Structure 1
């Protein structure tokens, strides 16, 4: 084998084709890996545009084995390892080419397509520079060919859509130089080690050895070995007295994190965690031969370890104010604040500030994070902001003032009081951040009532409750009908209000509250120990007016709890975070789907009219034609940008796979609602506990409620559903039920091992609403259905049954079909269940 470091452009130059063997897994990179790559590309682009000399970014290795060479044909290479990187870069170039096409850069389009994506003078399979596994091939070639169905629901389509989205965002920012700089970086500034096997080498054995190499040394392991190599005389004593106690108190992961934070607070804020060893080695190399200086370095690191432990475990902090501030940030979760918190503790230790001043500074950090979450400000640059802080803080003023001034910077987006008030009234708070963060905000708001007997939150098992329910009974819609606007349905008003902060509270009685009428909820809230719930119980009714009034009251409390930036007003000319989220949502939509102005409004906390006005004045927004009226029709006011020669919107949607009836209405099953759009954006779209499987097993009372509800609402489907559940039990499965008023039902199957337990369920049955929800979103993270092809097979088998029409674009979501299908086709559904159990059993046998 031979190895050489090479750029991507040089790797693929010539008449070559890289073939991914059948034994390789399908393309699996997700948003996290794509985002990390794009951040690295973005840094290189900025350096390139600034005229700085940018060192190539090492992307990893690609192991190739020679394939067959036909006379006059392409040189084939088998991709033994590195197919994820190669596929990702090809998809990035496909997205870049299509972005250049929209910009009107025909030369750029031609250059990228011919130079990177295809072998220009070859046809058929030889035409493509990369040929993925057969399962990925159709989706990949759709992107290379720039077909209408490019950007489907699988990982290939998601990666293509990701790059289309980030390029569109850069275009919206107005820097026309970026696309050319991105092309340069992708071609020439991403370094790859090409490892080439010789003819006759056992390719599969090479693949096996590369992917079964055991656990390598961590960055902190490498640093430890290097440091103690430089300490031949004192090494053993220093290890026993300093390094080993530090290592034992922190543990391996936190030790590595500390070594990285040590660099960041010293000002090396661009250092990635994968580069810790190299950067620390570079810093310490001049001290080689000076054991006194090296000992001082380790002593300083050990002291910093003690301070870092107080961030991870705030109970160790002695100052009450500082301990409270650290506890709140620990409850918030995540590591974003670590660099700034460690820097502040360093200042306290050095006597350059007081613990109380550091506590006030951390209070501003909490405010900054909370306000951004409530206002749904994009988090893409959040880590970078906090990594820059230690170096950028002004040193000639108190730490708290310096932190507030730093976070108030224009490009750091600390929402003003005005923005906070509006967000609390309109944004779907229930989809913001993570569940612990939502609960943290509600808890802090409750504590602001200063109750004489406050709730012990550590012991109370509280969850977030929707006062106006997510699935309301008819009485609720009758109440909402009194407050709807012209041409607005009660359902549409419900959707705009239900997830806002004014409609949410904390309770330990979630199961009791369910979707009962407000009068019943009042009785339960009236006995609550929480002051905010007693306030809700005092209301006479619960509709739009009450929700917005409560939102305004909570906003005033929030403004006092979490002070805003210096200046306190939104900078003029800044784009609303809602419009950025709208653009991201339209990019995230798989081909073959559509949505409505109301769905987008619900997602971003706006109004359908405002969404229509924005898209009308910005017709170049990617995917704007996918937003239709509530009936699924093209809006009469939709227009392409002037001079843009594109097909009619309905024709374009049809070419992507959206089906229309003879009245021009798009098929309802292909519509993405607001919750589905939020899921595609990576939001934590939590469901009520009743709509997830419960571990209690087949509770007789719950089973009887389910059967009673099903028989009452869908008597024609009742025998078929029960027959299918009996069949499921005979196949080795069992059934669980929900605890809420609508008693949902889940056919469950244990498919894990004693070491790795796992449960599968194909769908949930809702006996009142009459829907069967196919849980592709959950199956995606469970073998064998983490393979897209297995989920697609489940979808195709179900779609062969009359009355079921699940769109392929929802292979990562939870589409549904009517329970009435069981009335005529229970046996056909049992056949699908039999296949489902067999697929799970085959995977279990493979792992045994």
Structure 2
């Protein structure tokens, strides 16, 4: 090989020649991010040229690796672009844009650019192009280089790049700061340095391609494998590419194609391969088998065939059979990509005639049941990848496919809950706190559909959210009614915590905000007029309490058991200790300076406080078991250590104090440091914001509303004013104004749930794209709150630094009436918005938000 530094002009101009991008190269894929960076580099070099500083260094753009093309001849050199096609394509498009920009005012210069860099003047057909992109990009590139510009198609990377440069050249003509377009051309052709690596005919260019580490887009596993395949197809490459690969590439994106390649390995029985190891694994299979061109072609044909199956998983509407289509649609809505190995196997076996459409739908119902029952019963999802990846290799061969799949999923350690466990969890588990919101909504939707109402709701267009019939923030009337049902010394608040999130207390509605925290008789009137059969049945009851919640849970359990088939009996049952394992996990996650109660832990688990106490008293080795106290913050009379303690370390109160738990004058643990069942759920929930069920994930405060419709901001302040004082409302308005003056913006939650307001910094489009210190919620009957989102800040710079979060906590605690314990730095503690109405607090909070903004701005300068 030979390597030398060169410039675009030296590489491209001169005698007639052609640079060919091989079939195995990916299509053009630079995004606006890459184009902007290149444009900034070009302008920088143009300014250096304008300054006359010839000694300034050029900008190094990267490498270009070339190899002699098999079509090369002495009169017309042709080179394969082994690496660097993205750079060469982009620079060629930039020059085409400059040519077209000056075509009317300087036609001679436009012709010069064309002939020097873009075309071979005396050649025709494909040979006329000096750069010949990979086949999928060829027509688009040719249209921009030699015209006509027709049929570009949406989303074309070539068209997008060309349009970008045309737009930037128009901007460069700004009279306020004009840029000489020919100086920009000169910067492109003579100030962007490349390292050209030229291989000899006998060099292994595939190895060069495989090992390159360049500054462009990283090659994916699909890119590497495509390169390998077509380097091996020496005689049939064009035919295979046009017949199978190009249609395959047109039907799937690069990431989807990589997923399909991985699935094919799994379907062939390699149940251990990781997607990131796809290329090496498939290459090894070919080389171990001594695969020739025939085997390579057979592999690509099979990819092409299976791509139709894969598209049906991604786009269920393409499935012709209605029952199979409905099942695939539900799995797609569940976001069940983890099941794709099993689903691909089923569609493949159906095509081979081993099962018909009805059997396929039944098999899909087993997959759906496996997912839904596990979610309702709160089985962790961390082993789902392994379970479904093993299906093709482990499917029993001695029974039909559908029954084989059911047997495999029913086997030991697959944890497919049976009817008894499902019924128990529907009665007791806090369904609302587990799984993704769209999964919870889908369960309720399926239960509603099971009533087979003659005029069913169109769920695709209905804006429904999940409603707690007994509200999450109950008023005195609700607590009084619960007190009539409390037994065994259980407080109404504990009873509420235990049943509020269970499935029996949840329904779907389009009037969530209107239902709010109203007494049940008011809710009855609203639910009675609902189009949902579930709501009509709730409205038909005389009262709503624990007895009614449990009765409805039993009714829904009957329907769930009928909807989602049970596993086979006797194949091997799951362990029954998962709930206690969940308890151990959450107790081990208790932050320093916090405690919880038996009732809180029981509500989190969907258990009873006495059962929790018995388990902790009789199970050795449970971390932080002594930090579970009675509801009033005292050590239970029945507490005992399950193992001998070091002398002097057996005093529970001393241990609690050592863990940062404070005590009141009465000797009880500080109630501010108590973690509720919701806090415990948040500890294990991660940082994905699922706080407001079903809201628009855009979070964009600037989102347009249909004419005459209430804006999100208007909805927020209407809901806030419903149960907060005018002084509080005005204080919040002043707070928003201050935040916007700091350079922030207000994002609002959408939909019919109680609207939220986010104090955002950074790019619009969602919390994942910026940072926010707090989220404000109207109180829906209990007074508005500001949720301080320490949990989310912890994964966003610069507040990954805990000392900064602690600094924010200290400033918030300076507000009168605010006392957030340090242990809640891992959570999302609330501040009552009514406190902001106090002038001193309003001033301190404004200063705190300014401090927060300054820390965020400083992170960009460091």
Q: TM-score, normalised by structure 2?
A: 0.68
Q: Does 1:832 align with 2:844?
A: no
**Alpha-carbon offset, residue 738 of structure 1:** 8.5
Counterpart in 2 of 1:498? 500
For 1:350-749, what aligned pairs fall within 5 Å after superposition? 350-567=352-569, 571=573, 574-645=575-646, 646-682=649-685, 686-688=690-692, 695=701, 699=713, 703=717, 706=720, 709-711=723-725, 727-728=738-739, 731=742, 746=757, 748-749=759-760
**Alpha-carbon offset, residue 758 of structure 1:** 4.3
**Alpha-carbon offset, residue 271 of structure 1:** 0.9
**Alpha-carbon offset, residue 665 of structure 1:** 1.8
Q: Does structure 2 conserve the Cα–Cα contact (< 8 Å) formed by 1:763 and 1:775? A: yes
Q: Does structure 2 conserve the Cα–Cα contact (< 8 Å) formed by 1:430 and 1:685? A: no
Q: Does structure 2 conserve the Cα–Cα contact (< 8 Å) formed by 1:463 and 1:508? A: yes
Q: Does structure 2 conserve the Cα–Cα contact (< 8 Å) formed by 1:597 and 1:628? A: yes
Tell me the distance in 2 between the aligned counterparts of 1:695 and 1:231.
54
Q: Does structure 2 conserve the Cα–Cα contact (< 8 Å) formed by 1:247 and 1:255? A: yes
**Alpha-carbon offset, residue 751 of structure 1:** 3.2
CA displacement 1:268-313 (0-9 Å, x = unmatched)? 1111111111111111114556211221121112111221112222
Residue 814 to residue 266, structure 1, CA distance change in 2 (3 Å) = same
Tell me the distance in 2 between the aligned counterparts of 1:269 and 1:659.
52
Tell me the distance in 2 between the aligned counterparts of 1:558 and 1:462.
20
Counterpart in 2 of 1:230? 232
Q: Does structure 1 conserve the Cα–Cα contact (< 8 Å) formed by 2:595 and 2:674? A: yes
For 1:115-264, what aligned pairs fall within 5 Å after superposition? 213-264=215-266
Residue 253 to residue 816, structure 1, CA distance change in 2 (3 Å) = same
Residue 412 to residue 700, structure 1, CA distance change in 2 (3 Å) = closer
Q: Does structure 1 conserve the Cα–Cα contact (< 8 Å) formed by 2:776 and 2:784? A: no
**Alpha-carbon offset, residue 628 of structure 1:** 1.3
Tell me the distance in 2 between the aligned counterparts of 1:447 and 1:241.
45
5+ long unaligned stretches in structure 2 = 1-211, 703-710
Q: Does structure 2 conserve the Cα–Cα contact (< 8 Å) formed by 1:415 and 1:570? A: no
**Alpha-carbon offset, residue 784 of structure 1:** 4.5
Give the 3-state SS of the residue equivalent to 1:414 in structure 2.
coil
For 1:267-278, what aligned pairs fall within 5 Å after superposition? 267-278=269-280
Q: Does 1:797 align with 2:811?
A: yes
Tell me whether 416-425 or 562-571 shows the greater mean CA deviation. 562-571
Q: 1:751 aligns with which of 749, 759, 762?
A: 762
Tell me the distance in 1 between the aligned counterparts of 2:295 and 2:850.
69
Q: Does structure 1 conserve the Cα–Cα contact (< 8 Å) formed by 2:749 and 2:756? A: yes
Q: Using CA pairs under 8 Å that are at least 6 residues apart, name the structure with larger relative contact order, 1 or 2.
A: 1
Counterpart in 2 of 1:7? none
Tell me the distance in 2 between the aligned counterparts of 1:317 and 1:598.
49
Tell me the distance in 1 between the aligned counterparts of 2:562 and 2:724.
49
Residue 674 to residue 753, structure 1, CA distance change in 2 (3 Å) = closer
Give the 3-state SS of the residue equivalent to 1:411 in structure 2.
coil
Tell me the distance in 1 between the aligned counterparts of 2:213 and 2:829.
36
Give the 3-state SS of the residue equivalent to 1:611 in structure 2.
helix
CA displacement 1:47-106 (0-9 Å, x = unmatched)? xxxxxxxxxxxxxxxxxxxxxxxxxxxxxxxxxxxxxxxxxxxxxxxxxxxxxxxxxxxx
Tell me whether 648-657 or 456-465 shows the greater mean CA deviation. 648-657
Tell me the distance in 1 between the aligned counterparts of 2:333 and 2:637.
49
**Alpha-carbon offset, residue 441 of structure 1:** 0.8
Give the 3-state SS of the residue equivalent to 1:505 in structure 2.
strand
CA displacement 1:657-707 (0-9 Å, x = unmatched)? 222234332222222211121112126784447999883778568647645
**Alpha-carbon offset, residue 371 of structure 1:** 0.7
Counterpart in 1 of 2:97? none
Tell me whether 781-790 or 830-839 shows the greater mean CA deviation. 781-790
CA displacement 1:450-500 (0-9 Å, x = unmatched)? 111111111111111111111122221122122111311211111111111
Give the 3-state SS of the residue equivalent to 1:464 in structure 2.
strand
Q: Does structure 1 conserve the Cα–Cα contact (< 8 Å) formed by 2:369 and 2:564? A: yes
CA displacement 1:347-404 (0-9 Å, x = unmatched)? 1222222232222111111111111111111222221111111111112211111111
Tell me whether 534-543 or 620-629 shows the greater mean CA deviation. 620-629
**Alpha-carbon offset, residue 552 of structure 1:** 0.3
Tell me the distance in 2 between the aligned counterparts of 1:302 and 1:360.
27
For the aligned residues, what is the CA RMSD?
Answer: 3.2
**Alpha-carbon offset, residue 757 of structure 1:** 6.4
Give the 3-state SS of the residue equivalent to 1:309 in structure 2.
helix
Tell me the distance in 1 between the aligned counterparts of 2:669 and 2:604.
21
Residue 702 to residue 368, structure 1, CA distance change in 2 (3 Å) = closer
Tell me the distance in 2 between the aligned counterparts of 1:654 and 1:437.
41
**Alpha-carbon offset, residue 644 of structure 1:** 3.7
Tell me the distance in 1 between the aligned counterparts of 2:407 and 2:549.
35
Q: Does structure 1 conserve the Cα–Cα contact (< 8 Å) formed by 2:369 and 2:566? A: yes
Residue 325 to residue 817, structure 1, CA distance change in 2 (3 Å) = closer
For 1:47-66, what aligned pairs fall within 5 Å after superposition? none
CA displacement 1:778-827 (0-9 Å, x = unmatched)? 44455554554432321122234454322333223211345447635433
CA displacement 1:187-232 (0-9 Å, x = unmatched)? xxxxxxxxxxxxxxxxxxxxxxx99944211111111111111111
Residue 258 to residue 706, structure 1, CA distance change in 2 (3 Å) = closer
Residue 236 to residue 286, structure 1, CA distance change in 2 (3 Å) = farther
Tell me the distance in 2 between the aligned counterparts of 1:664 and 1:328.
54
Tell me the distance in 2 between the aligned counterparts of 1:317 and 1:739.
33
Tell me the distance in 2 between the aligned counterparts of 1:212 and 1:490.
64
Counterpart in 1 of 2:35? none
Q: Does structure 2 conserve the Cα–Cα contact (< 8 Å) formed by 1:353 and 1:399? A: yes
Tell me the distance in 2 between the aligned counterparts of 1:681 and 1:362.
30
Q: Does structure 2 conserve the Cα–Cα contact (< 8 Å) formed by 1:803 and 1:821? A: no
Residue 211 to residue 507, structure 1, CA distance change in 2 (3 Å) = farther
Give the 3-state SS of the residue equivalent to 1:483 in structure 2.
coil
Give the 3-state SS of the residue equivalent to 1:564 in structure 2.
coil
Aligned length: 633
Give the 3-state SS of the residue equivalent to 2:508 in structure 1.
strand
Give the 3-state SS of the residue equivalent to 1:793 in structure 2.
helix
Give the 3-state SS of the residue equivalent to 2:675 in structure 1.
coil
Q: Does structure 1 conserve the Cα–Cα contact (< 8 Å) formed by 2:262 and 2:278? A: yes
**Alpha-carbon offset, residue 551 of structure 1:** 0.4
Q: Does structure 2 conserve the Cα–Cα contact (< 8 Å) formed by 1:404 and 1:565? A: yes
Q: Rg bigger for which structure?
A: 2
CA displacement 1:151-187 (0-9 Å, x = unmatched)? xxxxxxxxxxxxxxxxxxxxxxxxxxxxxxxxxxxxx
Q: Does 1:806 align with 2:820?
A: yes
